[in-house]
Amino acid sequence: MLRSFASVLAASIFLFAITLFAQSPIGTIAGTVTDGSGAVVSGASVTVTNKSTGMKREITSDSLGNYSAPSLRDPKADAMA
């Protein structure tokens, strides 16, 4: 009985630790730039702004209109093309 309790406790602690490491304060904003007709816009300038600090990051959409701003440290960010 004590042995099975210890096994369950150890497994619970292990799963809890995995959950803690799975959460990260770093995120990504990604999307596709399209025009009014829905056509993709390649080479569009996209500005990602951190709402807390005002810091801006400039990125460019690829040939399919896709953009990605990885490694954002604050979840409060806006993207504007």
Q: Quick one: pLDDT at residue 54?
A: 87
- Please check the confidence at residue 18 and state whether its pLDDT lies above 90: no
Q: Is the Cβ–Cβ distance between 28 and 67 less than 8 Å?
A: no
The pLDDT mean for the chain works out to 77
Q: Quick one: pLDDT at residue 44?
A: 93
Q: Which residue has the higher pLDDT, 4 or 56?
A: 56
Which residue, 35, 62, 26, 67, is CA-closest to 48?
67
Give the confidence band of 4 by pLDDT, cuts at 50, 70, 90. low
Domains of the chain: 2-80 (2.60.40)
54 sits in the region (left: phi over 0; alpha: psi -120 to 50; else beta) called left
